[in-house]
Structure 1
C-alpha cells in the first residue's frame, strides 16, 4: 500500500468503474470530470452534506448503510460495489454521470463558464494594481 496515489491519473484510467470517496469537494469534481460513479463514504464536516448531494440529489453515487451498531458490514460493502458496477442502478448512475461529465467539460472549455469566471476574477485582481499584503503574526 502506498501513502499517496495520483488521483486524477487513476480516475481517468479506463479500468476504473467506481470511486470510493470521502466526498471532499475536489474529489467529487474530479470524479464528475472523469465520469466515474462514486461510492460515498464521508468522514466529517461538509463531507456528509456533499455525500447527500451526490447520493440523493445528483444520484451519481451510492452510500453504504450502517447496521444497528453503527458498522458497515462486509455484505453491505459487497452490495454497494455490485450496485455501482452492475445492473439497473449502475446503468442509471452511469447515464447521469455521463450527463454531468458533459456539462463539466463544457464549463472547462476555453469559452466555458468556469474559464470565463476565472478570467474575470484574474482581471479584477489585476485591476487592484498592487500586491496583496499579508499580515504577519509575531
Structure 2
C-alpha cells in the first residue's frame, strides 16, 4: 500500500468523508482527493495532523508499502547479526575509552594539585595514546 491508499483506508475505517477530513485539516476536499490518488502529498503540518487524527505513526502512514522491502534489505545487509561478536568488539573499545578518560582525569587532577595546567594536557595525551594503542593492537589481532 502507498500513502494515498493508506489515507483512504484510514479515512473509511473512521467513517469520514473527504469533506469531513478536509474540514478537520482546514484544506479543500480536492486536496484530500489528490492525496488519496497520490497526485500530491500533504505538507509536514498536515502529516502531523493526520497522525493525530488517525492515531498512527507517520512511518505506518507513509512507508507501509515498503516495510517488506526494508526488512529484506536489512536482512540481506552486511550488518553484524551475531550479537556476541559485536559485544566483544564493544567491550574492547570500552577498555581503550576508559584509558583515555582515566588519563585525562588523572592529568587534570595532578594539574589542579600542582597548579600546573600542563599536567592536565600531558595526562590527557598519555591516556589517549594508551587508549589508541590498545585499539590498534586489538584491531590488528582481530585481522590476523
State if a TM-score over 0.5 links the two structures: no
TM-score normalised by structure 2 residue count: 0.28
Q: From the two aligned structures, give the one with the greater strand fraction.
A: 1
Q: From the two aligned structures, give the one with the greater helix fraction.
A: 2
Rg: which structure is higher?
2
